[in-house]
Structure formats: C-alpha cells, structure tokens
Structure 1
Amino acid sequence: MKVALMMENSQAAKNPIILNELETVAGPLDHQVFNVGMNSENDHHLTYIHLGIMAGILINAKAIDFVIAGCGTGQGAMMALNVHQGVFCGYCIDPSDAFLFNQVNNGNALALAFAKGFGWGAELNARYIFEKALTGERGEGYPVERREPQVKNANILSEVKASVMKGNFLESLKGIDQELVKTAVSGERFQACLFEHGQDQDIIAHVKSLIA
C-alpha cells in the first residue's frame, strides 16, 4: 500500500517525529510512505486547505492508497479532505478510532490532531494509531454481528457522495482557484509521488500545466 503523509504549516515542525513513527510501522508491512507535505517550518507554506487538494489529486490519480493528514486539532484537515470527490477521511485521536474507521467506514484518509492533546507519549499514540490504520483486512465491519449492515452502509455512503458530486474530479479541480491549487502542488516531494506513481494522465497533465 502507498501511504502519503501530509502536514501543514502550524505543525510542520513535528513532521520528523510523525514520519519516523509512520515509517516504523509501515516498513515491516511493506507499505511505501511518501512525505508529501511540509517537512519543517522552512518548507513551502501549506494550510489544511492545501492538504485537501493534495489528497484529492493523489487519491483520484491513484498515486497513493491512503492519506495520513492533520493539523492542530485535526478538524480542519478532516473537513478539507472530505470536500473532495473520492476522499473519505475520518477523525482520529486514538488507536481505537483508527481500528473502527478501518473496519466500519473503510475510508482512505485519516486526520490527526498534532497539537491538541499532543503531550507526553504522543509519538507512541501516533505509532499505535498507524498500526491499527495500516494492518489487517479493511472494511470487514465491527462488531461481528453488525458486519453486514456496516459494510452495506459504507458502500451506500460512497454511492451518495458520488451522486452529490456530479462530474469527475478533474472538472471540480479546475473549478477551484487555480492559484490555490498551484500552491498545493508546488512541493517537489508531492510532484515526485504524483508523477512517478499516478495513473490518471489527465490529472497529471493538468498539474504539470500549473507548474510549467
């Protein structure tokens, strides 16, 4: 599985900590990690709004399978990611959230709080979240006796979102302020992930047109 980590300006200084915990979990599972957001406070400036655009592009281009995002509270990142077609982002503050999101909702992104509650042992909490988010079969439902309706409802939600968001992702991307999109796609690590692993050439071509 290809996993993208993206962090915005307010919590960029914590990127090495979070990246280390994510790679510690992902490595033994043979998951690839792409650190596509800010890696320090000196990196090019991103807000949680940019993270939503980035997640939408990477997921819809099939460059990555799962996104780990966040901001100070995690709420802004969750909202920004869920704006975009094909992105199903859950809010996660502890390992049980990650496990239940994995099994019940079967989404493809998590938003973490990297400031609120980020105290003693926070790096361990992040590691355990990643363990629950990245291991086991997804979307099996929980508890066992509720498996069938849980799986059914997750599929219905996907259909509802597709119906509400008419048209394809590229059309919606072009409808956003293109300067905002250009900032979102300006990072070299983001571009490398998209251009090397993306499968939707139309999305890739549009991104390249913005940065040309």
Structure 2
Amino acid sequence: MKIALINENSQAAKNSIIFQELEQEAKKAGHTVFNYGMYSANDTHQLTYVKIGLLAAILINSKAVDFVVTGCGTGQGAMLACNSFPNVLCGYIVDSLDAYLFGQVNDGNAIAMPFAQGFGWGGELNLRYTFEKLFSEEFGGGYPRERAIPEQTNKRILDDVKKITHQPLMSILKNIDQTFLKETIDYPEFKEYFFTNCQDKEIADYLLSLI
C-alpha cells in the first residue's frame, strides 16, 4: 500500500516527528510512505486544511496513493475537507482504538488526526501506537468479527451514496478556482511523487497543463 503524509501549515513543524513514527510502523506492515509536506512552518509552499482535502482527493482518485494520513490543529478541519471530495472516506482518529476500529469497521482510505489539541508529553508515542494498530490487520475485517458482513455491506452502500452525492473529480478540477488548484499542487515534492505514481492519465495531463 502506498501512503501519503500531508501536513497543513499550522502543524508543519511536527512533520518530521509524524513521518518518523508513520514510516516506522508502515514499513513493518510492508507499506511505503511518501511525505508530501509541509516540511516546516517556513516552507514557501503553504498548505491549508482545505488544500489538504483537495490534495488527498487528487492522490486517491488518481491512485497515486492508496491511503492518506493527515491532520491539523484539531483534526476536524482536515477531516471535513477530505470528506468533501469524491472517493475519499476520512476518519477522525485520536488514538490507537480509533485507528483499529476505523480500519476494521469503516474501511476508509484516509485519517485526520489532531496534531495540536492534546498533543503533549508522549505525543510521539500516541502516534506510534495509533499507526501500529491502524496497520496491524487488513482493512475491512470487521469488529466484532460476527458483525463483519453487515459492516462491509454498509461500507459498500456508503461508497455508492458518495458516487451520487459527489461530482467526479475531473469536473471538480476543471470548475474549482484554478489559482487555488495550482497553489495546491505546484511544488517539487508533489511533482516528484505524484507524476511517478499516478495511474490516471486524464488527471495527470490536466494537472500538468496547469504547472
């Protein structure tokens, strides 16, 4: 599984801590992590939580990645922004129990975490244990196990509902403010990781035309 880490500007200073814990646990499960930044609070390229949602949607819909780990000060803004876009199912994750249940019951493809609220002494340990439980088993296994079939059925229904209630991503990309879109994607690490891993030529060609 290819995993993207995305930090918004208010919590960019924690990027190296989050990346270290995420990569450590993801590697144990056989996954690869791509760090899409921000890398520090002083980065020229600034990502807001709204831009995070757009970036997550581009990465997931193009199959450049399979999963997104993100967050903001409270985690709420990043979660809401991600869920505003098609085919992104983002959970609000505070600790390891949240992570395990989200993966098993909801089988989503993104998580948003609070990187300021409640992030104090032992914060990096909470990250470690959360990522450990998130990737401890294949997603969608169900919890409790006897509830697996109805939970999987509900997940498929939710996916179908989102197809009806959301526009296709290409329509969004063409109709969203083009300056905002370019500001979101026009930085070196995006270009390096995205165009190497993107599996949707239409999305790739459109974004290339902007940058």
CA separation in 1, counterparts of 2:193 and 2:134?
21
Q: Name whichever of 143-152 and 13-22 sits farther off.
A: 143-152
**Which position in structure 2 is the counterpart of 1:105?**
106
**Paired residue for 1:50?**
51
* TM-score, with structure 2 as normaliser: 0.97
Residues of 2 paired with 1:59 and 1:125: CA distance? 26
1:151-206: per-residue Cα shift (whole Å, max 9, x none)?
1111100000001124x211112111111111110121122111000000110111
Q: Residue 126 of structure 2 aligns with which residue?
A: 125
Give distance in 2, aligned partners of 1:26 and 1:9.
24
Query: Alignment partner of 1:119: what SS?
Result: coil
Distance 2:157 2:135 in 1: 23
Find the aligned partners of 2:176 and 2:37 in 1 and give their Cα distance. Answer: 20
Residues 114-171 of structure 1, C-alpha deviation per residue, up to 9 Å, x if partnerless? 00000111101011111122231110111122221111111100000001124x2111
Instruction: State the partner residue of 1:36.
Output: 36
Distance in 1 between residues matched to 2:133 and 2:193, nearest whole Å? 24
The whole-number CA distance in structure 2 between the counterparts of 1:46 and 1:144 is 39
Structure 1 residues without counterparts, runs of 5 or longer: none
Partner of 1:77: 78
CA distance in 2: counterparts of 1:193 and 1:32, whole angstroms: 12
- Aligned counterpart, 1:170: 170
Partner in structure 2 of residue 92 of structure 1? 93
One-letter amino acid of the structure 2 residue matched with residue 91 of structure 1: Y
| AA matched with 1:185 | I
Secondary structure in 2 aligned to 1:3?
A: strand
Q: Give the percent of matched residue pairs that are identical in Structure 1 and Structure 2.
A: 53
Matched residue type, 1:209: S
1:24, distance to aligned residue in structure 2 (A): 1.1
Q: Give yes or no for the alignment of 1:59 onto 2:60.
A: yes
My pick for the range that moved more, 15-24 or 171-180, is 171-180
Over 3 Å counting, the alpha-carbon distance change for 1:104 and 1:199 in structure 2 is: same
Q: How far does residue 28 in structure 1 lie from its aligned partner after superposition?
A: 2.6
Q: Within 2, Cα distance between the matches of 1:184 and 1:134? A: 28
Provide the C-alpha distance between the structure 2 equivalents of 1:137 and 1:31, rounded to a whole number of angstroms. 12
Instruction: Give 1:50 deviation, angstroms.
Output: 0.6
Give the length in aligned residue pairs.
210
Counterpart of 1:141 in 2: which secondary structure? Answer: coil
Match of 2:188 in 1: 188
